[in-house]
Amino acid sequence: MEVLDTSAFIHEYTTDDTVVSVPEVHEELTGEGALRFDAMEGSGMTIHVPAPEVLDNVRRAARGSGDAAELSDTDTRLIATALELSATLVTDDYAMQNVAERLDISVEAIARDGITEEREWRFQCVGCNRTFDENKERCPICGSDLTRKNPA
């Protein structure tokens, strides 16, 4: 079973496996991508709404990896669906791949290479250079912007 991200419809991804997506993906698509979604739904693709507690697990994992600010609601729902259904997540989104790896969800990339390592991001102040484990609106010390950094 494969859970399809928006990019799967844009890049005309095909598979013989059972496919699943979430309603929010259809909302993101326009033109040919939306038509492909409708056609796949008409030919048996399942539309899934993940349970709230599974969404909470994904959000916790995303905060832990430092990817929470990078994930949209649709991204979170897709990861939760893959987790809940023990399915493969089909996406090119690196933040989604990183969170999925953290949750032991298998991932298949579409048009780009997948991630090569799981990352736990840190956030560094552009003003005073202090680092933080969690992303904040501004540096609590000097008020400058924070940037996402790979600690490795």
Supply 81's token pair.
Answer: 């669906």
What span, in angstroms and rounded, lies between the C-alpha atoms of 54 and 56?
Answer: 5
pLDDT tens per residue across span 45-77: 999 999 999 999 999 999 888 888 889 999 999
**How long, in residues, is the chain?**
152
Q: How confident is the model at residue 152 (pLDDT cuts 50, 70, 90)?
A: low
**8 A C-beta contact, residue 90 and residue 6:** no
Give the predicted TM-score (pTM) of the model.
Answer: 0.74
Q: What domains sit in the chain, N to C, each tagged with a CATH number?
A: 2-108 (3.40.50.1010), 121-152 (2.20.28)
Supply 38's token pair.
Answer: 């409708």
Specify the higher pLDDT residue, 117 or 32. Answer: 32
Specify the higher pLDDT residue, 137 or 39. Answer: 39
Supply 152's token pair.
Answer: 């490795």
